[in-house]
Amino acid sequence: MEARVVTIATELDIVRVRQAVRDVAVRGRFSLVEQTKLVTAASELARNALVHGGGGEVTVQVEPVGTGTRVRLVFVDHGPGIADLDQALTDGFTTGSGLGLGLGGARRLVDEFHIESAPGRGTTVTISSTSGGAVR
């Protein structure tokens, strides 16, 4: 399994995260729609980590699964954390100026979505998608 870490400290880093994820999705032979969904989800989560978490990092992991490739992204920030995860995942809920679709929307775009957070302990969001219709 190969892994790469991208720091999320500025708005430009959101673009860098998108590029890094697009690279691995293309190399992992994701279909165009699969690529687009995964990169869009990554963009949402990178922005969340920057805006709500005060920055952080994402680890991009790539591993072969059956005939396809699984890309797993682990977003970590050390911000204030989220007290009510159910509320944070509800469409339309926002503490910022966005539409409040970041977390819930990202969850719909990927195969696997996992979030861990607590007040004062930051937030870790793990997502993954697998190319080629491999077993999820």
Partner 1 sequence: MRPTGAVPILTLGDVVLVSIQVELHDELVLRLQQDLAQQVADTGARGVVIDVSAIDIVDSFLAKVLHDISATAAMLASTAIVVGIRPAVAITLVELGLPLRGVRTAPSVNAAFAMLGVRAASERPHVPPGSPVSPDGRLPSGDRGREDDPRAHDHLPREPRVREMW
Give the residues lining the site for partner 1 (CB under 8 A). 11-12, 14-15, 18-19, 22, 32-33, 35-37, 39-40, 43-44, 47, 91, 98-99, 101-102, 104-105, 108-109
- Nearest approach, Cβ of residue 84 and partner 1 (Å): 20
DSSP 3-state assignment of 4?
A: strand
Instruction: Please state, in angstroms and as integers, the Cα–Cα distance from residue 104 to each residue in 31, 43, 101, following that order.
Output: 23, 13, 6
The two tokens of residue 83 are 């007290």
- Nearest approach, Cβ of residue 25 and partner 1 (Å): 11
**Strand (E) or helix (H) holding 51:** helix 32-51
Q: Which is nearer to partner 1, 1 or 12 (CB)?
A: 12
Q: Which is nearer to partner 1, 44 or 77 (CB)?
A: 44
- Nearest approach, Cβ of residue 1 and partner 1 (Å): 25
**Cα separation, 19 vs 39, whole angstroms:** 8
- Nearest approach, Cβ of residue 120 and partner 1 (Å): 27
Neighbours of 69 (CB within 10 A): 20
